[in-house]
Structures are given as structure tokens and as C-alpha cells.
Structure 1
Amino acid sequence: MQRVPVISPDGRPLMPTKPSRARRWLKQGKAKIYPNDLNIFAIQLINEPSGHETQDVVIGIDPGKNFSGVGVQSSKVTLLKLHLILPFPNVTKKMTARRILRRARRGRRINRKLPYDQRCHRAKRLDNRVSKKLPPSIRANRQLELRVVKEVCRLFPISNLVYEYIKARGDKGFSPAMVGQKVMLEWLGEIAPIDTQYGWQTSNLRQWLKLPKDKADKSKAVEETHSNDGVALAASHFIKWREWQSSHARGGNWEGEVSVTLAPFKVIAKPNIYRRQLHFENPDSHKPNLNQYRQRKGGTITPFGFRSGDFVQAEKAKVFYRGWIGGYTETAKSKNVSIYDVNWKRIGQFSPKKVKLLKRSCKLCVV
């Protein structure tokens, strides 16, 4: 049985309730719908509740390089499953393009006809080989996970967090998924008490809970790829593996009790918005009379009242589409806005007159 998050009048999360009870409270005027960035049906009480006692509710986080899984579990019911599409490849592409443009600018500035000691080389401001800052792509991954955890904490009374600690295979010594683990654990430690466990422990518990795992294509946005691992991590708070040994044999068994049930499943991504730049790198070839003209590039505001990242519904040929605003084109003959899906692939271009705003941008794409 699924559960509906309940929020107190002062904004504190309470233990979730049954959908039938939530509908009855709404009908009787005892509660109202609580809007949230995860698009989860939740209610907020109008009057003060009879008590604020809560049970243990745990978040399990299975971090990755391109995808992460999050599960929310109590001892009696699974509350939520999340599949996160991480921004790692998008940030990497943008950083590569920025590096190429920066090197081109520096190359144009230097007069290579002069002797080396007379050239206009800028003195280095820092040694980037000893810097301990997180790479932008890794930081973006961890920040998206942190944002989602904070949003979940606004809906459920989270008591503990369980994070899967990653060890690199082979002789590499590190991997993109490993980098930033220490910083991430520090961030999460400010929210709630946190425990860690290794991947093989998660695998053993997931198999004992009979949660399926799809290892063929981990890019699929289904529960079997990553979110079931998050549920297994959260369930590890309630059941533990205990080893025993006697004079004749040794073994172990699982101690504790937890019930894994059906739960709402959401796919979450970050909109791949192009930030405002002065212009494109090359002049516009479609305007031969203005050889130095360069088109505007990026930006989050359109002249039609929409912003990049807004969730909208568009109509074309009597077919309705839902997606997120990603940009616009404005010429003498036409004006269109581009709409993208959760994977940030363009659905199409639509007339602004046939686009309806459903929700303002919260910098999350939730399906």
C-alpha cells in the first residue's frame, strides 16, 4: 500500500498516511495539497496534529557516474523510488568547449614573433595540479543528489541516511564515481546521521529481499537499474547480517524485519540549460552584409513569457506534448520555442500561442 506524505501546519514532515485517509482529509477541509519540487502528491494539515511522534524513515543512496538510485524506506513500507540522470556528460562537454575557447583567446593574444621571454604570457595565479577542489562534473553530480535528498527530507521525517561507498576496481586507484565521496558524506552528515556500506553488501541484501537487478542496460529509467539498490541500502538500517560460529560449523543469518512494497517511481534530471553568452563563436553566415554579426547564444529568458526549464504543454496538429522549455528562435517570419524531454532531447519547436505553462522552473525535470 502506497503512502502519502503529511506535513504539519508549521512545515515539519510527519509520518505518511494512506491515500484514502488523505482524500478524506482534503474533502473534509482538514488538509490542503502541499506543492513540492518532486511532483509527489502530499498534503499539509490545516490544524495542529494530535502528536509529532515519528518512526524511523531511511534514505538509501546508490551513487554513480551517469545515474544514481535513491530509495526511501520505513520498516513497514517502501515510500519512494527515484532514478537520477546525472549531468556528468553535459558538464564535461561544456568544460571541454570552454577550455578550447580559452586556449584560442590566449593564443591570439601572444605575439610569437617575439623572443619567448618578451612575450605577453600571463603569470599563473594558482597551481592547478595541487588544487583539491572537486572537478565541476563530479560536483554537479553530487549537488544533484544532495538537492534531491533535501527535497525528500521536506516530505518525510528522515531519521538516517545510508550511502554506498565505492571502491575502484583494478589498478586505477580511483574512478569518477569515487571522487567527491568524502565531501558528499560531509554534506549529508549535516542533514542526518549517515552510515556507509560497500557494493557487495548491497548486492547480498538486494538478493535476499528478492529485488530484481537489470545489469544489461543501466541507462534504462526503470526501478530495476538503480532505485532498487537505493531501497536495499535503506533497508540495511532495519536488518543486519549476523555471523555465528560453533564448535562444528559456522554461518550467518539476517536479523531484523522490513517490508518492501510497491512505491511511487520518479525519474529526475537537471535541465541542460545553456547559460547566457555574448554570442556564438563564429559570425552568422546567413547575413552576408553583416560579416561581423554574431547571434545571441544561450540565456534563460524568452520574449514570450517563458523561461528555460519551465514545464509546459504544447499542441501541434491536435497532438499534445509535455516537456521543458530549452530555448527559442525569433526571425522575421516565425517565432518558436523549443521543448525538450527529461533526457533533454528536443521534442520539437512550437508556436508560443499554442504553449501553456504548467509549472515554473525549479531546476529539476521530474517524470
Structure 2
Amino acid sequence: MRVPVLSPEGQPLMPTKPSRARRWLKSGKAKVVHNDLGIFTVQLVSKPSDTKTQPISVGVDPGKKYTGIGVQSAKVTLWMAHLQLPFDTVKRRMEQRRMMRRGRRGRRINRKVPYSQRAHRQARFDHRRFKKVPPSIRANRQLELRIIKELAKIYPLTTAVWEVVVARGDKGFSPVMVGQYWAIDQLKILLPVVTQEGWQTFLLRQQLRLEKQKTKKGDAIPATHAVDGISLAASQFVRYRQLKGKQGWWEGSVDITPAPFVVVRRPPICRRQLHLMVPSKAGVRRKYGGTITRHGFRKGDYVKAEMARRVVYGWVSGDTERQVSVSDINWKRIGQFSAKKTCLVKRSTGLLVLPNKGLSNLPPLRGQI
């Protein structure tokens, strides 16, 4: 395990051992700083003696519902993550928005006048000419980019390795391909990007003797998707060389070690809706959605709640007149607690991060390669 280190100006330096970080904190040479991913990070108070860094790469295995991310150096595995993507949530809300819009337009049209005189909306421009990224896929890629930007603030990243989907035939216009190209272009602004295909990741994972769980892809464990993120990141240190007509060999070395593993997702907060799908009686619309509660908390805040000698930690998901609803990372309500017995631990950052207790180790591959 390594602890990220920042310079007095906030520039990321090479991570250090926890024992050294503790000595720095005890002697007053460093202080603890916080970040949106909940990674324990220290910042030096005085100018360091050396600011040289070594190559550190981040691997991204993007998917439709889940994504694996890994941060790797040549000597140690630094961080792993399992991202639960908001694809289904955004798709469902876009369908609901379309239904609400059609309902409002239907109520607005006066069907007593001739068809040519009705208040139909004007024809829009051809929005498919510019390869528009669908909102559901854009939300997936934006969450992945958000995580990489947060990692770049605390780790001196040198390369980002992105696993690409190679479509067969003329499918370059598909939403998946368009979203992939858009995300890579956005990532190139931050880091140099190296693309890699799935079969290359498979061969390197076999060489590193890492086993992947091919069933139950939704399990929030390192063996489902984070293992591919680490394999992608390790590709910058281990490569396959082959001469023409001769047998190839693996060149380089990398050490896969136990590392912190977290589960990250977006809080599925309902935005404030001024017009519900079905109008209420007497024209009075009830409050629905929004991020602010009446007790000073925001939806997505990490809190500590107590009730009947029961103490729980979770995220604020709603409120009543005197109570606060606390939910787990899957946004399932744990319970409703008194607002007076609910304490704020951390303000909402737009991310739900559930760290795993202790260090997680990637499972070794069984049998011989």
C-alpha cells in the first residue's frame, strides 16, 4: 500500500509508505488533505528534497453498466475501483421526460381548430448530423472521466490506457462507438491516451496470472472489472515482443500487490420537478425532487445517524418534517432517523464512495499458463 503525497503547491509526487507518512504527520512535516474519492492523502508543509516521479498509469475498462479502473506503477498496485454506471437510471428518466413533454404538448394543442392552424412545434434541425452522444452513454463516460480527473490530482499519472471496442462492419456511427471516441478525445486533454483491444487485455491478464470472474458481472469485487483495469495499466510496463516468423516473448516486469478497493456510483437524486406527469387537484403541486432538505442537509451528504442505540453511516436520500432518510450505497433506505440525532460527516461531492475494509488482493489464476 502507498499513500499519495502532494507538494506544498498541491502538485502530486510519488506515493510513499504509510509508516513514513505517519512520521511526517507526527513531526509536523505534512498534513492530511481530503479529496472526493476518500483516498487518504498527505501534503508536505515544506519544500521536498526531490520532486522526481516514476511512470504511473491508469487503466480503464469501460462498460455499459459497470467499469473497472486501476492505478498501477512498476512496483506496486496503488488503487482499484468498481464503478456502477448510471446508464439505466438516465435511460429511464429520459423516457419519463419524453412522456411528460408529449403530455404537455397534447394539452396545449387546440383540436377544435383546423389542423393547419394548430400550435404544433416547428420542425427542428437534423440533430443526427453531428454524431450526438446519447445522454445515457454520455453519463457513463462523464463518470469515468470524473474519476480520472480526481486521480490526476493526487497521483502523478503519466499515461491512461483505454480498452476500445472494435465494431465489425460499418458501425462507426453507433452510440457506443461515438461515445467511445468522444471520451477518448476528452481524456487526451488531460493525459496521453493509449488504446488497447480486449484480446490484448486477455493475453496480458493471463501472463500476470490474474483470474477474472466471468459470471455475475454486477458483483462489486476486484475480480469482475477492476482486474481488467489493473491489466490495462500494467500494459505500460510489460509488453509482448515478437520477431517475424519467430516465437515471441514478454519483456519488462511489474508487481501486482494488494491495494485499496472502492465502489463508486452517482447518487440517483431526483431533480426538482415543477411539472409532474399528472397534475394534482386544484392546481396545487406538491414538492418533488431537489437536493436541499429542510434540516440543513443535502441529498448525498454522508452522515452518522443514531436511533435506539443503533448507529449507522449512510447518505441522505430524503426528509420529512422531523426526520432524515438515510440510504446505503445502493440507494436503499436504511431507515428514517431524527434530524436532531443525525450528524454530518462529509458534504456531498456528487459521488458515493464505499471503501472496502483492509486491502483487496486480485485472485491468482489457477493452473499453468
For residues 95-135 of structure 1, the C-alpha deviation after alignment (integer angstroms, 9 at most, x for no partner) is: 11100000011111122343321221121232234342211
Counterpart of 1:363 in structure 2 is 350
Q: What's the counterpart of residue 261 of structure 1?
A: 257
Q: Distance in 1 between the 2:176 and 2:217 partners?
A: 15
Q: Report the AA paired with residue 354 of structure 1.
A: K
C-alpha change, 1:354 and 1:282, in structure 2 (3 Å) is: farther
Residue in structure 1 matched with residue 357 of structure 2 by the alignment: none
**SS at 1:180's partner residue?**
helix
Alignment of 1:65-76 (within 5 A): 65-76=64-75
Counterparts of 2:128 and 2:46 in 1: how far apart (Å)?
58
- Does structure 1 residue 81 correspond to structure 2 residue 102? no
> Which residue in the other structure is 1:31 paired with?
30
Aligned equivalent of 1:64: 63
CA contact (8 A) 2:133 2:175 kept: no
Alignment match, 1:251: 247
Query: Shift of the alpha carbon at 1:169?
Result: 6.7
- Give the match for residue 292 of structure 1: 283
Preserved CA contact (<8 Å) 1:65 1:176: no
Aligned partner letter, 1:328: D
Q: Take 1:12 and 1:309, find their aligned partners in 2: how far apart are those partners? A: 29
Judged with a 3 Å threshold, the aligned counterparts in structure 2 of structure 1 residues 243 and 4 are, in CA distance, closer, same or farther, namely same
Paired letter, 2:339? P
**C-alpha distance in structure 2 between counterparts of 1:127 and 1:116, whole Å:** 24
| 1:65-98 deviation digits (Å, cap 9, x = unpaired) | 1110110000111100011111111111111110
Question: Where does 1:1-367 land on structure 2 (aligned, <5 Å)?
Answer: 2-168=1-167, 177-245=176-244, 250-278=246-274, 280-282=276-278, 291-330=282-321, 335-367=322-354
In the alignment, residue 264 of structure 2 is paired with which amino acid? I
Taking the aligned partners of 2:242 and 2:174, their CA distance within structure 1 comes to: 32
Q: Is 1:279–1:295's contact at 8 Å kept on the other side of the alignment?
A: no
CA distance in 1, matches of 2:279, 2:188: 50
User: TM-score normalized by structure 1?
Assistant: 0.92
Root mean square deviation, CA, Å:
1.8
How many Å separate the matches in 1 of 2:53 and 2:323?
A: 50
SS, match of residue 244 in structure 1: coil
Task: Point out where structure 2 has 5 or more consecutive residues left out of the alignment.
Answer: 355-369
Please tell me whether the aligned partners of residues 38 and 151 of structure 1 are also in contact (alpha carbons under 8 angstroms). Answer: yes
Deviation at 1:174, TM superposition (A): 7.0
Paired residues of 1:283 and 1:295 also in contact (CA < 8 A): no
Provide closer, same or farther for how the CA distance between residues 91 and 151 of structure 1 changes in structure 2, counting only shifts above 3 A: same
SS at 2:38 equivalent: coil
**Compared CA separation, residues 271 and 59, structure 1 to 2 (3 A):** same
Task: Quote how far apart the aligned CAs of 1:204 are.
Answer: 1.0
Amino acid at match of 2:257: T
Q: Distance in 1 between matches of 2:284 and 2:126?
A: 38
SS at 2:78's partner residue? strand
Amino acid at match of 1:34: V
Structure 1 unaligned blocks of 5 or more: 285-289
Residue 252 (structure 1) shift: 1.5
Count of residue correspondences: 354
Give distance in 1, aligned partners of 2:206 and 2:304.
41
Residues 345 and 71 of structure 1, relative CA distance in 2, 3 Å threshold: same
The aligned amino acid for 1:204 is L
The answer (yes or no) to whether the contact 1:168–1:174 under 8 Å persists in 2 is no
Give the 4+ runs in structure 1 shifted more than 3 A: 128-131, 168-179, 279-284
Report the Cα offset of residue 355 of structure 1. 1.0
**Cα offset, 1:351, TM superposition:** 1.5
Preserved CA contact (<8 Å) 2:131 2:178: no
Which segment is superposed worse, 355-364 or 339-348?
Answer: 339-348
CA distance in 1, matches of 2:261, 2:193: 24
- Answer yes or no: is the 8 Å Cα contact 1:279–1:297 preserved in 2: no
Q: Tell me, what secondary structure is at the counterpart of 2:311?
A: strand
TM, length-normalised to structure 2: 0.91
Instruction: Indicate the residue corresponding to 2:360 in structure 1.
Output: none
Q: Which residue of 1 aligns with 2:366?
A: none
